[in-house]
Amino acid sequence: MFSNELLKRIRSEFPRAERDAFGKARAFLDNGTGTLVVGRAAVAEAKARVDYSANVYGIFDESKMAGEVIHEGRKAVADLLNAPSPETIVSGESATSLFFGLSYAMGKELRGRENVVVTNYEHYANLSPWLELKRRGLIEDTRFTPLNIEDGTLDLNQLGALIDGDTRVVSVSAASNALGTKTQLMEVGKMAREVGAYLIVDAVHHIAHGPLDVQTIGCDFLVFSGYKMFSPHGSFMYGRKELLEELRPYKVKPAPDHPPDSWEWGTRDQAKFAAIKGVVDHHEWLAKQVEGGFVGKLSQYSGRRRALKVALTAVEEYEKEISRVMLTGSGDIQGLTEMPHVKVYGLKDPERLDDRDPTFSFKVKGLRGEDVVERLWAKHAIAMRSEDFYSRVHEVYESPTLIRASFVQYNTVEEALRLLKALETMKAP
C-alpha cells in the first residue's frame, strides 16, 4: 500500500487533487465519469499544442516534430498495454467512435447468420455498434450474458453456452463502469478462440486501476479512453497487426492503406499523443517510488514496460484497501454493506477484492439519487453523481439511475471514510 508520504506526492502530481479551479477543497469521487488530469500530461499537451502545431508529413522542423510526438505517443501506449509495436495502436475521437469504426469494418465480412456475444454490464459504447449490425441485418443476433443479480458477476457457464460456431465476436468490458466487477478475460478469451471468434476488450473503465497485457490476454482488440486515465479526451485502440491489415475500415480515398493510419479518420491531434505519453511518464515516476517492493518481480518485462506494470500493480494493491474500507468501514464508521438504509449493487464480499475495481453503485432508501449527490456536494464537499452512466446495468436492475463513487490512485482512505460518514447521516425519516 502507498505510504502517507507517497500518497501526498502522488496527489501533488495532480494540480486539482486537493482543490478545484475555484479554490474549493473537495473529495473528487467522480472518476468513473472522467479523471482529473495529471500535471505531466497537461504540460506535455500544451507544449505540443503550441510548439508543434504544424501538420505532419512536411519537411520543416515543426512538422517533423509533430510526427515524432505522435510516434512517441503510440510507443507509450504500446508499452502501457504490452502491445507488440506502435503500429498496432490506433487513435480515435472517443471509445464510441473506435467501437463503431471497428464494427463497420467487421460488418463488411459478415453474411447475416453470425452472432455477437456481449454482457449485461456493458457500457453502450460497446453495445450500440453490435446492435446496429443486427438492425442492419449483418448479424442474426446480439446475445447478452446474464449477471448473477446478487453480486453483479458474470455467469461464465452461461457465457460459454451463448458462444457457438456462428459467434463472430465476443466483446466484453475489462470491468463494469457501474458495478466495478472485473471480467475474467483469460477465460472469456479461451472460449472465443475455441470457435474462432474475435475477442474485443472494452478497457475504458479499468485502464486506470491495474495493469493490462494484450499479449497475455490474447485479445484481438482493446479500447480505452484517455480521459479515464488522467489525460484529455481522445481514445486509443490496440489491434492485432494482421487484423488491422486484413479488415477494411471506412476511409477516404487518399488516406494511407497501411495501419494504423488507415484506421484513423482525419488529421491526428499530436497534443493528445503528447498528453498520453505524459500519463505514461507519470507512471514511470511512480514505479521508481515503489520499486523496492517489486525487486525480483515482474521479470518477464523490462524497461518502461516493466515500470508501467510495477506502477499499476502498486495502484491496484492500494485501491484494494480503499475498496475494503468502503465495504466494511473502519473503527466506528460503518461500511456500505453495514448500512441498512443503503442498497449496494455488485460485489460486496471483502474477500473478493481481486474481482472488483474501487467503483461502488448504490441507493439510499427513501431518497432520490439526485438529492443524495446534491447533499453530498453542498454539505460535505464530495463530488459524485447519480445517473445511468450509459450502462446496461440499469436495465438489468430495473433502476433508471444509481449513485456512483469511483476512486483512483490520488484518492485517500480518509476521503472514503468521509463519504461513509456522510451517508450514515442520510437515513430517511
Q: What is the pLDDT of residues 122-138, one digit of tens each?
A: 999 999 999 999 999 99
Does 365 lie in the same domain as 272? no
Q: Are 128 and 78 in contact (CB under 8 A)?
A: no
Identify whether 287 is part of a domain. no
Grid cell, residue 80, equals: 502501457
| Residue-wise burial string across 360-382, b where 16 or more C-beta atoms lie within 10 A, e elsewhere | bbbbbeeeebeebbebbeeebeb
Grid cell, residue 369, equals: 439519487
Does 329 lie in the same domain as 259? no
State what percent of residues in the chain have pLDDT above 70: 99
Q: Which amino acid is at 223?
A: V
Q: State mean pLDDT over 101-115.
A: 96
Grid cell, residue 106, equals: 467487421
Grid cell, residue 103, equals: 464494427
Does 96 lie in the same domain as 21? no
Please name the helix (run of DSSP H) or strand (run of DSSP E) that holds residue 334, with its range, or none: strand 333-334
Q: What is the pLDDT of residues 275-294, one digit of tens each?
A: 999 999 999 999 999 999 99
Identify whether 298 is part of a domain. no
CA gap 240, 220 in Å, rounded: 5
Grid cell, residue 95, equals: 471509445
Q: Are 59 and 203 in contact (CB under 8 A)?
A: no
Phi-psi map region of 326: left, alpha, beta (phi>0 left; psi -120 to 50 alpha): alpha
Q: Which of 279, 300, 326 is the last residue of a domain?
A: 279
Q: What is the CA radius of gyration of the chain?
A: 22
Tell me the sheet residues that pair with 145: 119
428, pLDDT greater than 80? no
Identify whether 268 is part of a domain. yes
pLDDT reported for residue 396:
96
pLDDT reported for residue 231:
98
Identify whether 115 is part of a domain. yes
Q: What is the pLDDT of residues 237-277, one digit of tens each?
A: 999 999 999 999 999 999 999 999 999 999 999 999 999 99
State what percent of residues in the chain have pLDDT above 90: 99
Q: What is the pLDDT of residues 50-66, one digit of tens each?
A: 999 999 999 999 999 99
Q: Which of 259, 279, 299 is the last residue of a domain?
A: 279
1, pLDDT greater than 90? no
Does 55 lie in the same domain as 35? no
Does 15 lie in the same domain as 80? no
pLDDT reported for residue 427:
79
Identify whether 86 is part of a domain. yes
Mean pLDDT of the chain: 97
Provide the domain count of the chain. Answer: 2
pLDDT reported for residue 319:
98
Q: State mean pLDDT over 410-425.
A: 98
CA gap 270, 391 in Å, rounded: 31
Does 64 lie in the same domain as 16? no
pLDDT reported for residue 371:
97
Does 151 lie in the same domain as 200? yes
Q: Read off the CATH number of the domain in which 326 is found.
A: 3.90.1150.10
Does 154 lie in the same domain as 54? yes
Structural domain for 416, as ranges: 4-39+308-424
Strand-strand pairing, 402-406 and 359-364: antiparallel
Provide the CB-side half-sphere exposure for 156 (13 A, CA).
11
Identify whether 414 is part of a domain. yes
pTM of the predicted model as reported, rounded to 2 decimal places: 0.97
Q: Read off the CATH number of the domain in which 274 is found.
A: 3.40.640.10
Task: Identify the band that residue 7 occupies on the pLDDT scale cut at 50, 70 and 90.
Answer: very high
Grid cell, residue 429, equals: 425519516
Q: State mean pLDDT over 357-378.
A: 97
Identify whether 290 is part of a domain. no
Does 367 lie in the same domain as 267? no
Grid cell, residue 145, equals: 450474458
Identify whether 284 is part of a domain. no
Nearest to 80 by CA among 229, 227, 184: 229
Does 316 lie in the same domain as 174? no
Q: Which of 227, 260, 279 is the last residue of a domain?
A: 279
Does 104 lie in the same domain as 149? yes
CA gap 17, 57 in Å, rounded: 38
Q: What is the pLDDT of residues 329-356, one digit of tens each?
A: 999 999 999 999 999 999 999 999 999 9
Q: What is the pLDDT of residues 171-205, one digit of tens each?
A: 999 999 999 999 999 999 999 999 999 999 999 99
429, pLDDT greater than 70? no
Strand-strand pairing, 198-202 and 167-173: parallel
Does 336 lie in the same domain as 240? no
Nearest to 178 by CA among 11, 325, 25, 369: 369
